[in-house]
Structure 1
């Protein structure tokens, strides 16, 4: 029988303590140990730093956030400062950025109270002023009135007519955007349909989303609309925002606008993602669009809402995601009637097939395997007409593939962007 003189629980805890707090702090702590507190130092090293921090069930960054939130709640400001400094200066794999630290403090305001968060911000800012040069961060003056929710973007309304409601998310990286991406929604929807994808892409891209004329908070001009006019709307918005060439991601009607934009204003388009869309309808389908317009004009959008949901989402999705379907239904029926009718005319008369050979940018066409509104055959026609276009058919996806299969849609877009 052998006896190992090494206390492995203590050694593992000490290693974790060094990784989180840094060698210098741990060495000072050990050097200050004495006959009164040595037992306590041993206890916390074995139990806090081994038994808890040594568990692989959570990432160390997550455990950092938990400690910061708890010390804020309890008002343990000496411990809070210790962990703030360690979080900002920690190893690359577990440190928190100043923006991540800010999010911990913001959430603590809700669950621990505004006074506690106010004190936490004061302590954190003092530390940021101290360590900022080491981590390349500087506190700059900023106006509270100009702050915007990073998950929704800065809102605006274009100066042209019709005035278009839009949002802009700047890259969270703080660096120059890898791309400027524009997200263009489907008929009867609005820019919020893109929130999840927009926030993902805004990690390193500038992301613009907007409401088409007649939708959301944008103006609804009188009369019928054309796809050319809607593309001109988009061009005017992009020029007002001084975007330069953009990667246009459009679903259904948004994809039709993207095609026309690339043809009418090619200098504004860097690449296209055309999802669940078409370059033209056969005569029978055009007649169905005319019938839809007549029904809405006579009875309102409510009369067609259930049929629209049946085309937007396949049976299994409607059964399993009733709340999502209900949300999109509410959005459709609340759309301005004049705007809906005007856009129905633009969609029903779309006709770009013969001109698509003039699109000279990279194009990804995404189709839904179960899409009845713009089936894969229409996507193949579109992809075949655009030189070098890629085609991807998503399984178990209907007309709003980005909603039914968000992960697969995001992966397809991210892969396409990576190749630009």
Structure 2
């Protein structure tokens, strides 16, 4: 029997240790080994760096974040600093950005305590001042009172009336935005319906979401609104925020507003995503909208809520995701009835079909295979009427396709935005 003199557990662990901490640090540790601590160096190399870091179940970025969290919780600051430096300066495929480290520290404040996170921020800031130039990161002054939740954005209200509530997410990349994207919600919803998509797009885009008049935290004038008024609302918002031309992503009512905006204020629109929407309803459907207005006026929104959920979500989704359906139902029934009725009037009377040929920007039309409110035929009419439009049909999706098939919806939108 031959004897292999190589300790493979040690060699594998040593390679992982070098990959994570860098050659210079590992060489210093090995060179400082003595008869007193050589056994310990051997132990941690075989067990920590081979048995744990050598497991493929988690990538090294995730393991870095775990180590940072645990060293914060235990107050092991020498080890914490070692791994912060390694995370910032390590192999590119396992490196953590300063913003990613910040998120680890923020979460540690909740699970390990604010004092521990406070100390972690102090240590990390010192390291960033030391290596910032090396990694291209500049520590700039910032006012805590102006800080906003990165998953929600900076919230505001328009100066002009009717007042519109909005949120703005700046690009997390720290670079100039690829585009400014505006997300426009469906009837009976609000800007929160876009949270997941907004946070994905905000990686390299400036993302604006807002509540239509009569919805969420926006004003609800006592009147029957027109689609032209809703489009003018959007134009006011964009001009106040000085956006320049935007990529407009609208679902249902939001898609109708996008069409009208592109026709009335073409200089404000760079491209359109029109999801689960239409350019006009036949007379029979218009009568249904008039009946909905009458019902809400007489009995309140609760009287129509279940029927709305039946149109928004297909049977299978309602059975599998009752919590999501319940959330949207709560939003619908809590919408100001005056605002809801006002927008129902605008939606029921939408009429852009004869003017679609005047929309000259790149357009993506998204339809839901199971959508009964704005069926695929309506989406096809949009795609046929707009010169630079193409149609995508999402399988197993009804009217709120962005909620029912979020991944497929996101892939379609992100792919389109990236192509512009």
TM-score, normalised to structure 2, is: 0.99
Which ranges of structure 1 fall in alignment gaps of 5 or more residues? none
Which ranges of structure 2 fall in alignment gaps of 5 or more residues? none
Match of 2:191 in 1: 191
Shift of 1:246: 0.4
Confirm or deny that 1:117 pairs with 2:108.
Answer: no
Count of aligned positions: 420
Match of 1:363 in 2: 363
Match of 1:383 in 2: 383
User: Per the alignment, in what secondary structure is the counterpart of residue 330 of structure 1?
Assistant: helix
Shift of 1:140: 1.3
Give CA-to-partner distance per residue, 1:199-247, whole Å, 9 cap, x none: 0110111000000000000001121100001000000100110111100
Match of 1:284 in 2: 284
Give CA-to-partner distance per residue, 1:159-196, whole Å, 9 cap, x none: 11111000000000000011110000000000000000
Match of 2:26 in 1: 26
Output the CA distance in 2 between the equivalents of 1:407 and 1:196.
Answer: 10
- The equivalences for 1:11-410 within 5 A come to 11-410=11-410
User: Per the alignment, in what secondary structure is the counterpart of residue 93 of structure 1?
Assistant: helix
Aligned-residue CA RMSD in angstroms? 0.5
Shift of 1:388: 2.5
Match of 1:8 in 2: 8
Give CA-to-partner distance per residue, 1:30-50, whole Å, 9 cap, x none: 110011000000000011000
Give CA-to-partner distance per residue, 1:16-57, whole Å, 9 cap, x none: 101111110001001100110000000000110001000010
Shift of 1:6: 1.1
Output the CA distance in 2 between the equivalents of 1:156 and 1:131.
Answer: 36
Output the CA distance in 2 between the equivalents of 1:153 and 1:40.
Answer: 48
Output the CA distance in 1 between the equivalents of 2:47 and 2:99.
Answer: 30
User: Per the alignment, in what secondary structure is the counterpart of residue 273 of structure 1?
Assistant: strand
Output the CA distance in 2 between the equivalents of 1:393 and 1:61.
Answer: 36
Shift of 1:418: 1.9
